[in-house]
Chains A and B, each alone.
Chain A
Amino acid sequence: MEPLNALVALTNFVIIPATAYGSQLALGALGVTLIYGILRFSNFAHGDTMALGTTAVILTTWGLQSAGINFGPLPTALLALPVGIAVCALLLLGTDRLVYRFYRAKKAVPVIFVIASLGVMFVYNGLTRFIIGPEDQRFADGERFLVSARGFREATGLDEALVIRTTQAITVVVAVIVVAILFWFLNRTRTGKSMRAYSDNEDLALLSGINPEKVVAYTWLIVAALATIAGTLYGLDKSFRPFTYFQLLLPIFAAAIVGGLGSPLGAIAGGFVIAFAEVTITYPLKAVLGYALPDGWEPDGLVQLLSTDYKFAVSFVILLIVLLFRPTGLFAGKSV
């Protein structure tokens, strides 16, 4: 029984990857939840928005790299982020002008917005594939490890190694910064307050002279930033592939709903709940249990509760449990 090694193994294989993944999901879910709160529809194009924003970042990164510019030990993609966000913002504002504004003016029912977002999803998906192709793209550069396996073993003398990849650390740091800025913006600035007012009660907000078009434009700007950052972090941490981003839609929606649609705090909590559940249930826990249990108790099998291919099932089951027993989500979002 070696509790210290067990702890290190658990941290290495479950806690660190789940924290990074959770941060990415949280940022994605924040985008979904903001659109839901302010524009009042579930945006099915969000995964593809992330993919398009990331595409812009990747292309800029390649441009910077070929110009010989890099960010030292950090990935060059971080330098390219502002460009990506700007491109994504232009795209979203253009889409809003061409597609969603018409239905807003007509006061169409939410499901019409959802169907329109299906059309937007097709267009974005086609654009992404058209621009960068459907294949895998790797664009991470700079230092690969913050804590390497060898360095950790030599420093601590433990059998089990702890590895922290730079991208994982960056993901968490960037996510914390972004969330801090977002909450400061929503709670402290005039525009942020008007956004929350509009989300809480549209009529009252209109009565008090809040300009709805301005609120909507700011929402799209924030969503562009959130989606591009979430997509870039996910791409740095894993790899960029348009279809994977499309599939992220499910865990992201699950996170937003589990947390309570429309609640920013809930989106973050939901992201981490989903990520930790997915990683714990689909990771073979043999290594951890081997250390944690007394000698002779080691499990024979891999102790992998579900194969990794069923990770969608995990988000889905959590989603169902929450929907059945607490339909407004953990942090009471909009009512059902």
Chain B
Amino acid sequence: MSENLTGLVKIIGISILLVLLWAFLAYQVPENFLKPNNIENLLRRTALFGILGIGVSFVIISSGIDLSIGSLVCFIACLLALFLSVSYNPYVSTDVLEIKAADKKLIVNPDANFSPGQTVRYYGGRRARNAMLTITAIQPTEYEGRQASEILVDQALTRDDKTDSGNRSVGKIAAMYPISAVSGDHLNIPFGQLTPRDRVWFVHPERGLKEKTVAAVEPTGSTPGLNRVTFTESLDGIDATYIAIPLARKQKMSVPVAILSVLLIALGLGMIHGVLITKLKQQPFVVTLCGLLIYRGLSRWLSNDQTLGFGNEFEGSLGLLATGRLVLWDSGGSSFGIPYSFFFLLLLTVAAIIFLNFTIWGRYILALGRNEEAARYSGVNTGRMTILAYILCAVLTGIGGILFALDANSIAPSSFGNFFELYAIAAAVLGGCSLRGGEGSIIGVVVGTALMQTLYNSIVLLKIPDELEYAIIGAVILIGVTSDEVIRMIASRIKRE
């Protein structure tokens, strides 16, 4: 039998199983299974898990294992959320160092760019209440031996306060600007630095605070320095009695830098796995088991165990990678489109097939998975190729992590990505990878993933108690992987008789 034939038989077998399952669902619960929404979901989940499956199949083919995938997905997701975290701070503001309520005095950092006559908002204090103040005078002073500014205001704050070792500031003051010509979704403001995606606080002495996002800014032309600002939504309930605090949008890293950084981190971690396994002769199981624990712990620590997300910051841009779709058909009420992430899977599948089957490195990985010693005796640098397999796995996990993060937009560091490594390994094994190494095909892994996701889907659709989910998936994998051995045994017995 030729070397590709056994693999082909496996792929055909599992594909038939998949089609049968689809046919069964389409017959049994047609309205639910064939709903465009359901198919889209199935495609999206297959895409995301398929990418992880392709990654781990390289490692499995090299006769290794990677248990750290789920934790790495979470770690990468957390890093991405942190790298792309967005904050809004007043354009003109400073920390308050001391409040002398009776004297109507504030001591602030000297870099403050304020002038007498300006209205400012005091907020964020520990003791004193928020307030709107007008500056009457500014003079240099000293605070605890260093330069500071003393600001005199028109009214007294509620309480005295002072910085101490625990607090480097006792609140902030931010410059405020009057607004005029408020109508619909735009208004005029005498402030020139606002740019689209910035935000503005509208503060009213009695009515509290509202926050709106800037859509466009243009000079009015009539008065120098006066700008016409359009917002993303209408300014209902806001009028000229409000005073505005312009907020600058600050994103920790640009999108390309953030994505490149997390992928490089994934690559580095994969390389560390590979080096520990090849140069320090550690067992893959142990190395990646430690990775599983370490990345999970780091994720929880980096995020203070708080759920992270991207809010709606990247809805129309980066987020489309995970949530967008190519609409194929739209009939008003319902529509069907192929999720962009599915195209990712197709792209990566093709790339992985080419790598594994048509490059020398792919052949080396297959060879060393079959017989590492013989590969070494044939001049294959087996150490370097093993490291490469772990790097590929980690980078694909990184890509998967990015997509999972954008898709979920809610990353709970203690549970995000749990068991993903087992789904990936199970899909690879279902798809014909042997944990002994040297055997496996990319197509098989993708079909295996689709089968797993369809199973998951059918548990939901057929209203099987979801407590049974793992039991059913486990049983099907077991049947899938033992069936070909059983068939082979029966076949050889028949042949003998």
A and B pair up: no
Contact surface of A with B, Cβ cutoff 8 Å:
none
